[in-house]
Structure 1
């Protein structure tokens, strides 16, 4: 059976990633779009998810590509209507709401898929397998990019619940929480807020594993030119380095994996599998770490940001 899918929110991420991945994925077909400001030729279009669900349109699942603020009501409406739900990252604006969605999906026996696209990068699973057999000494994360390039004119990302620099930073955390064999927790958080914004533009975080291994992270949205998405793990057996957002792996100084982006195709392939059995895949650990960063964060004001 082919899953009849609706996209809710036809913004930059939906156009850049979701549409192409859906078109290239077996077992799923885009049949509808719900968006206040956009439509697709040849596809049924609605102003919002409520209008979609109230229509006679036959839809099995929805992919929510809207900003995290306000997404809870959309996801809840879809789950109550018996639809399978795929959540673009971050899965929500608060921890309480995403756990409530997970409980509702279980009660309704439908799929809830909290996606972390960076976990689908080519080097992530090989790094996870490799690190399971090594002694880790330290981890250093450097995730620095140009917000004007990746999020032009997206005012919501600077509001409360929009996460600011943690929108890309949570991608790094999704990888680190996947590849490390030991859990870690936050011990220090320094957040840098533009004086005219409600969300941080940079963050410096210090974590420790249960056994005391340090995990340091630097997130910054002010980097122009070459972008940096690197994770460096020092082990007793030699260095393990993931670069280019997890698509490249170097082990002991030797390149192991260099692969182009297949992340969203992998997500939709997994979603098709989940829907087939009405299974839930909802790991909220990366969002927990972001919430902790705000709870422990020491705020420093920096110069105003103008898009």
Structure 2
């Protein structure tokens, strides 16, 4: 297999924790360049901006964008204009329309655009999806609660417009729900709890219904600990399905199900490579649309200021 020359943009926590290890062992990509204002990667050519990287690396074939969503549109547009295939970390953008514009640019350029949702590649997801396809769903309860200080230390961008606040992890739950549930869900109510000194919520309570009126509830909270929760519970006519640990474990009827090892980020790069080979894009904005609906319909409640 000929490796595709890859650039990685935005060398922050998610890039170091997940992307770099996944790329290092992937047979389909060769990391040749990185762009970051404040960090460098050993073994790659390093630049301070994507524009500098694109100008100096004419043989580059693809980029993976891991910078905060507020700057990702300009980066993706520049990469597509340069003729590169583009993978977007989640969320794919700071707004819905910018992602649609990028989709059109990728189509016109004949390049792949991949709006990735890493949680959909957790090992429980496809097993759960197949099991739920033939069941009558009675209700769904999503519990996504963690400690923001552990997962986003010093990351001010999450508290600014476009940073999503607690929806940064919450959108992972929505990406799983929109994959495993056989019918679309529609938001009916939302409560957004926002610290007095920031712009985005630290917690949210959401109510949805599916196309048949089945209730779906979701609670997101960044003030949770020490025991964190990433669970989706689906009650059906033939028992209850429970996704645990963000998709790393699965129970049906209280019995653990064998689902295989966790390899979310390697699977992302598998899919990106396959899309490039087939000349296709994968741009599903349903999770981001549900978050946008929450900001549109949500009642806002001020809570105590956030202190790092």
Q: TM-score, normalised by structure 2?
A: 0.98
Aligned to 2:91: 90
Structure 2, gaps ≥5 residues long? none
Report if aligned partners of 1:248, 1:259 keep a CA contact under 8 Å in 2.
no
- Cα distance in 2 for residues equivalent to 1:147 and 1:34: 26
Structure 1, gaps ≥5 residues long? none
Aligned with 2:123: secondary structure?
A: coil
Aligned to 1:303: 304
Aligned to 1:270: 271
1:175-208 CA-partner distances (Å, limit 9, x unpaired): 0000000001000000000000100000000000
Aligned to 1:154: 155
Task: Name the count of aligned residue pairs.
Answer: 307
Establish whether residue 238 from structure 1 lines up as the match of residue 230 from structure 2: no
Aligned to 1:164: 165
Report if aligned partners of 1:60, 1:84 keep a CA contact under 8 Å in 2.
yes
- Cα distance in 2 for residues equivalent to 1:42 and 1:237: 53
- RMSD over aligned Cα atoms: 0.9
- C-alpha displacement of 1:24: 1.5
- Cα distance in 2 for residues equivalent to 1:39 and 1:252: 48
Aligned with 1:70: secondary structure?
A: helix
- C-alpha displacement of 1:57: 4.5
- C-alpha displacement of 1:56: 4.0
- Cα distance in 2 for residues equivalent to 1:282 and 1:295: 22
Establish whether residue 176 from structure 1 lines up as the match of residue 188 from structure 2: no
- Cα distance in 2 for residues equivalent to 1:203 and 1:147: 14
1:223-252 CA-partner distances (Å, limit 9, x unpaired): 021110000000011101100001111111
Aligned to 2:68: 67
- C-alpha displacement of 1:278: 2.2
Alpha-carbon distance change, 259 to 158 in structure 1, aligned in 2, over 3 angstroms: farther
Aligned to 2:25: 24
Aligned to 1:139: 140
- Cα distance in 2 for residues equivalent to 1:106 and 1:63: 18
- C-alpha displacement of 1:259: 4.6
Equivalences for 1:9-20 in 2 at 5 Å? Answer: 9-20=10-21
- C-alpha displacement of 1:210: 1.2
- Cα distance in 2 for residues equivalent to 1:159 and 1:257: 40
- C-alpha displacement of 1:130: 0.4
- Cα distance in 2 for residues equivalent to 1:103 and 1:43: 31
Aligned with 1:69: secondary structure?
A: helix
Report if aligned partners of 1:82, 1:108 keep a CA contact under 8 Å in 2.
yes
Report if aligned partners of 1:7, 1:65 keep a CA contact under 8 Å in 2.
yes
- C-alpha displacement of 1:258: 5.5
- Cα distance in 2 for residues equivalent to 1:185 and 1:264: 29
Aligned to 1:226: 227
Aligned to 1:107: 108
Alpha-carbon distance change, 296 to 209 in structure 1, aligned in 2, over 3 angstroms: same
- C-alpha displacement of 1:261: 2.7
Q: TM-score, normalised by structure 1?
A: 0.98
Larger mean Cα displacement after TM superposition, 79-88 or 272-281: 272-281
- C-alpha displacement of 1:52: 1.0
1:44-103 CA-partner distances (Å, limit 9, x unpaired): 011111111111442100000000002101000100111000000000000000011011
